[in-house]
Every structure is written in structure tokens, then in C-alpha cells.
Chains A and B, each alone.
Chain A
Amino acid sequence: MREVSFGQYYPSQSFVHRCDPRTKILFLIAYIVSVFLCKNFYSLGMCALVFLIVASCSGVPFKSLLRSVKAVLFLLVFTAILNLFFHSGETVLFSWKFIKITKEAVYFTIFFAVRLFLLVLSSAILTLTTTPVALTDGIESLLKPLKYIRFPVHELALIMSIALRFIPILTDETGRIMNAQKARGADFETGGLMKRVKAIIPILIPLLISAFRRADELGDAMDARCYSGSKVRTKYKKLKFTWRDLLSALFLGILIAGIVLFRIYTVSLI
């Protein structure tokens, strides 16, 4: 239950899984920028193609990928409707009273929806193929330069990894406390908003107290294991770039070059 509900890591040994997390993070950032740079359906189509290639190399079934869109489906539909009705345009396709749908609006709506779709799906690929631990390691490594401006990179990474580690524990604990209060007749499912908010208190307080207690104990355990900050610390796990990362970088280069070319090409058209 916990693995599914959080992190949504999909265990596999695919090409994408075995890439360095830093490569994946940078790739995703570059990809998102590219998607935003797209101005027409040609370049967007190219982004979609890249997505399809990466997705098919990731070993993640398409079904699991689509599930990640579910969360933003409402946003997607909502913005699509807004765009459809309120985007101004000239060629009117349909009009009824104050509602007016133009050809430009349809075009824009589809374009926008595809763009959002790609953004969500590509981010999902990162979390589906990278363990939370690798993700934190990657972020820590990428943020390393910030150390020179005294940004606490190591501490931030440690906080993140501890938070990740405690998520399944606290999820379980929430379930346990909820069950215990349900057994005492607490009702979380019916009633108005105020009643439901009030019903959360018997869960929230024990959970908070337990979290504080755990933090306290963890602090002691870390102290006892000689934790003293980052000064003398060494690191056991080192991230290593491989040929996979090189290949990905090349691929990314082609994509960006393509999009830039398309931009110049379309600009010259107009």
C-alpha cells in the first residue's frame, strides 16, 4: 500500500531506470523548457515523439503512466474549458448567446492541453523510474555548487531523505490511529465540512505527538552515531555517469537543436 501511494516508484531495470538521477533531473528540466519553447504543432509533435521514445525505454506500462495524469485531470479539463470559451479569435465556429467558440480557441486549447499533458507525464517518468533516495542524492549533487554561498546543501539533503524515510512509517501510523478512533465510534466520512475538520483532531494530535517523539528519539540515535554536521563527513555512495547518460545527453541535444530550428523556421514563415 505504502509503495503505491507514495513515490510511485515502478521497479524495473530499464535503460531509463539505470540512468544517473542527475541526468534524469537535468533532462527533465531541459525537456520542460523545450515544451514551453514550442510555438507550433510541429515542435510540440517532436516533444511528444521524444516523450514516447523515453516512455517506451522506461519499462513503465502506459497504464501506470496515465494514472499519474488522473491527479491533474480536473485542472486539465478546467483550463481547457476556460481556453475554449475565452480565448479570443476571429474565425467563429459556433456561437450561442454570449458563448463564442473560435477556430483559434480550439487550436489553442488543444495545444495547451497537449503541453500540460506532456509536462505531467514527463515528470511522472522521473518519479516512476527513480527511487526517492536516488532523487535526493541527485538533487544534493546538483546543488553542490551552492555550498560556496554557504547554502546548507548537505543538511537539506539529509532532511529530505529522513522525511522520505518516515513517510511510510507515518502513513502506517495514521492508518493505525484512524482505525483506533474509528473503533471508538469516530466518523470521518459523513457530515459537513466543519464536522469533518473537527473529526480530524483525534487523528492529528496523536500523530503530531508521535512525530515529535520520533524526532526526539531519532535525534538521540543520530547523536549516538557520531553525527556532527558535515565537516568531517565522507560519503559512501557516489553517483557515476555512464554511457547511458552520454547517450541521453546526445538525444537531448538533438531535441533542443530541433526545437530551436523549428522556431527559426516558423518565425521565417511569418
Chain B
Amino acid sequence: MQAIRFEKVGFSYQAEQDELFSDSATFSLDGLDFSVEEGEFVAVLGHNGSGKSTLARLTNGLLSPNSGKITVLGLDATDEKNLFEIRKQVGIVFQNPDNQTVASIVEDDIAFGPENIGVEREEIGRRIEFALGAVGMSEYRHSTTSRLSGGQKQRIAIAGVLALKPKIMILDESTAMLDPRGRKEVMDVVLRLNREEKITVLLITHFPEEALLADRAVVMNHGKIVLSGKPSEVLAEEETLKKCSLTLPRPLQICRKLQSNGVAVEDCFDADALASALAPMLQNTATENTSEQVENITETGEIGSVYCENLSYTYNPSSPFATHALNGVDLQIHAGDFFGIIGHTGSGKSTFVQHLNALIKLPTAEKKYKPKKRKKNAVETNTKLQVNGLDLTQKTTDFKLLRKKVGMVFQYPEYQLFAETVFEDVAFGLKNFNENLTEEEIESAVKEAIERVGLNYEEVKNRSPFELSGGQKRRVAIAGVIVTKPEILVLDEPAAGLDPLGKEEIMSLLHTMHQSWCKTVIIVSHDMDEIAENCNRAVVFSGGKVLVQATPKRLFEKDEWTKQAGLDLPFTAKVMRALKGHGVRMDGDLTVEKFVEDLLKNIKTSGAGTSLEQGGQSNA
């Protein structure tokens, strides 16, 4: 039997209904035909606003179609009488883990679903046990939901749905807000549920890597299905994907680049496959370079630089909830760096970043601080923190100037927009920092900032920031920070939650700024590929300490640091590691572009380049 069946479904949003919150004001499905077999694992891919989330909401009656027929497990989903039964059978896990938890205690939250359908007390207990076991969170039964990590919260949300014993599970971008570790946790659970519990899974995502795990992948664009088939085939359709604002999975990007240069490799989807395909063509080029390149840190006081020595910070000191967020951080960021800060949630990176523009002030810089107490707390006295040439350990420092010169873009910055017009919102920071500006000066600065983030000034200046699309909102929020022309720009997860193309655009925007006027860009990221692709130097935080700081190349050369911090390697580094297993050592660059160049150079010089010539001829 078919689990889900859409026949010629038409649907359109009433633009006014959702204006304030939806990312795309108008949007429609038109004559959509789509079906999912029972037990199947289908991934639906599409950029933000392609209609993929509407698909999920239509399936369990949160939305109802204007025309056409939707059948779920043989029940007509457009008939309101069936809704209760359908919702019992179709569980949805949404994007934001915080907004789908009802209770403060894990087991109470999981009990919510079964309670709603009138399950007996003892049976609810059994279901909680089953659901928690299925997502591997049994030991968290009595925990507080708000204290869990993102991945754990999302697994609890899955358990909450599982407790209803559904036949179909829909994941509506459930991994979009998670870090890579959380994403993996969730995907492992989903895969197991599909394989072992035979639950039909509809996975809505914009990560091509996740779609690879499915039995079938479907690509949506403008409310229509444009591709459908085996994930490995669908995800190889470069042209169509590009049209839908999607990108090839990273391994495939490398394969395609090699292929277009005449190297005969087949399409690969993981590092090991790529390595074993490449290994015979490559030769050892790198010598064992284990010369430990420990960077010495030196104080320069230069504009655009950060120097930090022995920085510690404790939340809620002298209370039972005291947590040591930073334990003696030594760190240096040079002027001109595109610097990456990596580490897990709770590793101290966010706390560190907040020190950079004195959102957290050192105790010695507080107004109340009296030097007399110094003897009591001898540790703070040898802390050094210098940002953009300003000494942050002194209370005489001009902190307003600091904040003006050190721009800070927080995670999901679009959530801090507040003004009636885009112009007013962008001008907010500017007016705060410079009280005596004339109207013309303000206008020209705002115009410049809005144009710098790639938006049309005349088009957006008088619009409400809330009517813009998600990607545009983020740009406006960034414009609101760069309007003061900071020398150092700090961004916490600038690309989080964006679709692949949106990510690329934001990163290239940052590079343009970095090259033209912003001395130093610092990004905090969970995405190792993003770090490898963009940064010239990076630091790994773990347990409130700096594990290592170096160029990405040195950092990811060995996996000891990333392993210690519980992080992944970027894909290119994984390939090189796998190559090492095949007896090929190479010292390639970590960005996809340069990595391919290095590979090509290596293939040319090695004798095994026959395949190259053949390939080259056929290509020409």
C-alpha cells in the first residue's frame, strides 16, 4: 500500500495570513503528484521556499489543499473526520527543537502524545521506555529538557512522536539548526527507525549529504517536483540542481572537477571511495613532516589584531551552578586574518567571542573594581586581553569605541531586527555610536552598508524588515553591524540554517568585505568544511581551553586535535587521510579548488598518468 499519495494537489498561501513570520510571502503548489511507498525512506530536497515544508503540513492536515486529493494510509486527508487518525499515524518532527517540546521534564514531554489519544497509564510508561530506547536516550528520562544539547532535544522530539506509534515519520528540516554532531545523532536514529521499526520516513532537508542515505530522493523547485530517483543519480544532476539553488555534494564536486580535467574517476559519494579510486594514480609527494609547528603568540597591539593571554571566565561564581567557561585561554589573531573558531557547544568559544567587544567585561575593567582586592584574586592580574589596540583589562578603556570597531554578528541575527523599516534598523547602530551625524551622512553610510550586503538600497530601504525572505533578513542584520565599518568583524555561525546556495553567498560576501575594507574577519563555526574552505588560520576550543591554533592545513593534518575536541574533519582532509591508508602521502590544500589542483599536479607528475591522457583525449 502507498503510505502517502498526492494527486494533482494545488495549494497557495494567503499572503496576508502569515506575513509576519513566513520567509516567503507568496508561494504555491500546482498540480503536484507525489507518492511514498510504505516502508520507504524518501528525501525531499529543495531550497528555502521551494514548497517542501508545505508538503509535510499537507500530509497530516496542518494545512489543507485548495484542490486535488491527498491519501494517507488509505485515508482521505482532506476529510476532517480522518485528521485525528492520520495524526496518530503520521508524526512530524519540526525544525526548532525548542518550539516543539511541551513539558519541562523529558518523560512528561514524551507522555504528551499518548496522553492526548487516551492511552492507559501503564502503557504510556512502556511507550516512554520504548521511545527513549529507540532514540538512545533512556538515561535522560528524568532530565530537564532545556538543559539538553540541540541533537538530544531533537531526539527527544522524535521520541515524543514515536510514543504515538506512528507508521510514517516526517522530518521537516529537523537537522537544519543542529551542529554536525547533533545532525549525525538524529540521522542515525532516523535510519535505524526506518530499517528496524519499518517506519516510512519522509525527510525534508537541504543537505544533499543527508539525502544520500535515503532510498529515493525528490527535488522540489517552485512547488513542483523536478527530479525523482535514486539519490546517487538525482544528486549527480549538476545542471538541474544548480537551477534549484542546490549544490552537488562535496565529494561529487571534486569528482566532477577531476573529470572535467580528464581524470577518469567515477562519481564517488564518500572519502574512502574517492581515495581508493585516486590512490593508484597518485604518488607520494609529501615527506613525513611532523615538525610541530607550534605558533608562538606575541603582543603587537596592532589595529585589527586580538591578543589574549590567560583568560578565564566563570558563570555564576560562588553558586551551586558555577561553570568554568574559560580556563586560561591563550590566543592570537593577526590583523588581516580570516580566522576560524571551532569547538563544540560548551567549549567556551561563545564566551570567548563575547569578551572581544566587552559584552563580557573582565573583572578588572568593571566600574566597581577596586585594585585593592587584587591580592585576594591574584590570578586575574596576569590576564591580558588586547583587541584592536585597546587594552580590555583597564576600566579606563573606551568601550564604546571598541564596540564600534569590533562588529559582532550573532547566530540567527535576523531575530534581532526590530525597526519599522530596513533603513531605520540599519541606522540604529550608526546613530548609537555617532550622535552628531547629519541626515546625509547617515543616509550615505546606510546606503553603503545595504549595498555591501548585496541588496538593492532603493528597493528595500522603506520596506519592513519582516517582509523580507530569510536570506535577505540576515543580510539586513549584517548590514546593521557593518554600517559602522568595524575593523574586526566577528560572526557566530553566519551561515547557520541557510540553504547551500545561501551559505555560499554569505561566505563570498564576507570574503569581499575582508578583501576590501574589513581588516579581520572572525567566524565561529561547527562546519569544518566551511573553516577549511574559508579561513587562513583557526583555533580549536575544548573544555574552555585552546587546544591548538594553526593554519587549517596543519590543524586538520592529524585528527588528534579534532578527535580530542569531538569534531569531524573537513572532507578534503578525510580524503587525504584515506589516501594515507592506501600508502599515498600528499600535502594537498584543503579548499576544494586548490585540492583538485594539487591532485591534478600529482597525477601529472606520477607515471600512472595514462588514464589522464586517455581521458584528456576523449574529453577534447
Chain A residues packing against B (C-beta within 8 Å): 1-4, 131-133, 158, 161-162, 164-165, 168-169, 173, 176-177, 179-187, 201-206, 209-210, 212-214, 216-218, 220-228, 232-238
Decide yes or no: A177 and B116 within 8 Å by CB, A183-B359, A185-B432, A225-B160 being known contacts. no
Number of residue pairs spanning A and B whose beta carbons lie under 8 angstroms apart: 170
Q: What distance in Å separates the Cβ of A153 from its nearest Cβ neighbour in chain B?
A: 15
Residues of A within 8 A of B138 (CB): none
Separation of A176 and B455 alpha carbons in the complex (Å): 26
- Segment with Cβ contacts to A, from B33-41, B88-96, B216-224, B371-379: B88-96
Separation of A228 and B413 alpha carbons in the complex (Å): 35
Across the two chains, which residue of chain B brings its CB closest to A164? B104
B121 x A184 contact (CB < 8 A) = no
Separation of A218 and B145 alpha carbons in the complex (Å): 15
B108 within 8 A of A: yes
Decide yes or no: A217 and B417 within 8 Å by CB, A4-B321, A182-B359, A238-B121 being known contacts. no
Interface size bucket, B side?
A: 35 or more
Residues of A within 8 A of B113 (CB): 225-226
A201 x B418 contact (CB < 8 A) = yes
Q: What distance in Å separates the Cβ of B60 from its nearest Cβ neighbour in chain A?
A: 6
Q: What are 23 pairs between A and B in contact, CB < 8 Å? A: A2-B146, A4-B321, A161-B104, A164-B104, A169-B98, A177-B416, A179-B359, A180-B416, A183-B357, A183-B407, A186-B432, A201-B418, A203-B418, A209-B21, A216-B21, A221-B102, A223-B87, A225-B112, A225-B161, A226-B117, A233-B116, A236-B121, A236-B125
Separation of A4 and B160 alpha carbons in the complex (Å): 28
Across the two chains, which residue of chain A brings its CB closest to B112? A225
A176 x B410 contact (CB < 8 A) = yes
Decide yes or no: A165 and B104 within 8 Å by CB, A234-B121, A235-B121 being known contacts. yes
B99 within 8 A of A: yes
B556 within 8 A of A: no
A210 x B415 contact (CB < 8 A) = yes
Residues of chain B in range 347-402 having any CB-CB distance to chain A below 8 Å:
354, 357, 359, 400
Name which of B105, B115, B400, B428 has the most chain A CB atoms within 10 A of its CB. Answer: B115
Separation of A24 and B433 alpha carbons in the complex (Å): 53
B120 within 8 A of A: yes
Q: What distance in Å separates the Cβ of A155 from its nearest Cβ neighbour in chain B?
A: 13
Q: What distance in Å separates the Cβ of A256 from its nearest Cβ neighbour in chain B?
A: 34
Residues of A within 8 A of B480 (CB): 184
13 other contacts beyond A183-B407, A185-B484, with CB at 8 A cut-off? A165-B103, A180-B408, A180-B410, A209-B466, A213-B21, A218-B99, A220-B57, A221-B92, A221-B94, A224-B62, A224-B91, A225-B113, A234-B120
Residues of chain B in range 224-281 having any CB-CB distance to chain A below 8 Å:
none
Q: What distance in Å separates the Cβ of B441 from its nearest Cβ neighbour in chain A?
A: 16
Residues of A within 8 A of B319 (CB): 4
A133 x B121 contact (CB < 8 A) = no
A183 x B403 contact (CB < 8 A) = yes
B415 x A177 contact (CB < 8 A) = yes
Decide yes or no: A168 and B146 within 8 Å by CB, A3-B321, A224-B91, A234-B124 being known contacts. yes
A236 x B124 contact (CB < 8 A) = yes
Residues of chain B in range 47-65 having any CB-CB distance to chain A below 8 Å:
57, 60, 62
- Residue B315 contacts which of A1, A158, A161, A181 (CB distance < 8 angstroms)? A1
Name which of A203, A220, A226, A232 has the most chain B CB atoms within 10 A of its CB. Answer: A226
Residues of A within 8 A of B359 (CB): 179, 182-183
B21 x A212 contact (CB < 8 A) = yes
Residues of A within 8 A of B107 (CB): 236
Separation of A144 and B120 alpha carbons in the complex (Å): 20
Decide yes or no: A184 and B428 within 8 Å by CB, A4-B316, A220-B62 being known contacts. yes
Across the two chains, which residue of chain A brings its CB closest to B430? A185
Residues of B within 8 A of A205 (CB): 418
Residues of B within 8 A of A184 (CB): 403, 428-429, 432, 480-481
B212 within 8 A of A: no
